[in-house]
Each structure stands twice: as structure tokens, then as C-alpha cells.
């Protein structure tokens, strides 16, 4: 159950990160505001991709550890995944509200 939960949370988070990164095309990608808007999403996406790869290679742990450690780990992963989903969904809402001015790279 623990391994399945990890796969789901990491998969959803990675999908949200990749989705945001694929749609977010700022005009000036190296401005501090653009780095702030997308940089952490890219970094977290890379961490999620690495974690999914290692989970696939090594498999889940047969001994997950004490209950409080498992709860803390899954709680933090759930919170991070939720933030990635909020970022992605709010960006989709922004794109729908401003179809005339999509932030495209030029």
C-alpha cells in the first residue's frame, strides 16, 4: 500500500510539474519573477522524476519504518504534490481567462 501511494503521489506531482513547464513559455525566462514562477516547479519535477525512477528500480521498502515517520513522509509528499497541482491548475485558469495574451517566448 505504501509503495502504491508513493507511485500515485509522485506520478501526479510529476504530471503537474511537466504540464506547467510545457505550457509556461515566458517572454523573458531569466527574469527573477519568471525564475520564481517556474524554477521551483522544474526542480521539484526533477526530484519527483528521480524518485519515481529509483522507486521503479529499487522497488518499495518492505519495512517502511515507524508509523510516525511514514505519516510525516507521506504528509510532506502530499502537501508538495498538492502545491504542484495548485500551481498547474491556477495557470490553466489564467490561460483560459487571458486567451488573447498567452505568455509565449519571442
The model's pLDDT over 65-91, given as tens digits with 9 standing for 90+, comes to 788 888 888 899 999 999 999 989 998
How long, in residues, is the chain? 106
Contact 83, 14 (CB under 8 A): no
The answer on pLDDT for 100 being more than 80 is: no
| Cα dist from 49 to 1, 12, 33, 81, whole Å | 20, 11, 25, 13
Q: What is the pLDDT of residues 48-71, one digit of tens each?
A: 999 999 999 988 776 667 888 888
- Rounded Cα distance between 33 and 26, Å, is 10
- Rounded Cα distance between 54 and 37, Å, is 27
Q: Mean pLDDT for the chain?
A: 86
Please list, residue by residue across 11-47, b when 16 or more beta carbons sit within 10 angstroms of its beta carbon and e when fewer do.
ebbbbbbbbbeeebebeeeeeeeeeebbeebeebbee
Grade residue 106 by pLDDT with cuts at 50, 70 and 90. very low
- Rounded Cα distance between 55 and 7, Å, is 8
Amino acid at each position: 500500500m505504501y509503495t502504491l501511494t508513493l507511485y500515485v503521489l509522485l506520478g501526479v506531482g510529476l504530471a503537474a510539474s511537466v504540464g506547467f513547464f510545457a505550457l509556461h513559455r515566458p517572454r523573458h525566462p531569466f527574469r527573477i519573477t519568471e525564475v520564481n514562477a517556474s524554477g521551483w516547479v522544474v526542480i521539484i519535477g526533477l526530484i519527483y522524476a528521480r524518485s519515481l525512477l529509483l522507486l521503479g528500480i529499487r522497488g518499495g521498502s518492505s519495512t517502511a519504518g515507524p508509523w510516525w515517520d511514514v505519516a510525516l513522509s507521506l504528509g510532506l509528499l502530499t502537501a508538495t504534490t498538492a502545491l504542484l497541482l495548485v500551481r498547474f491548475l491556477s495557470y490553466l485558469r489564467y490561460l483560459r481567462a487571458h486567451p488573447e495574451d498567452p505568455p509565449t517566448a519571442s
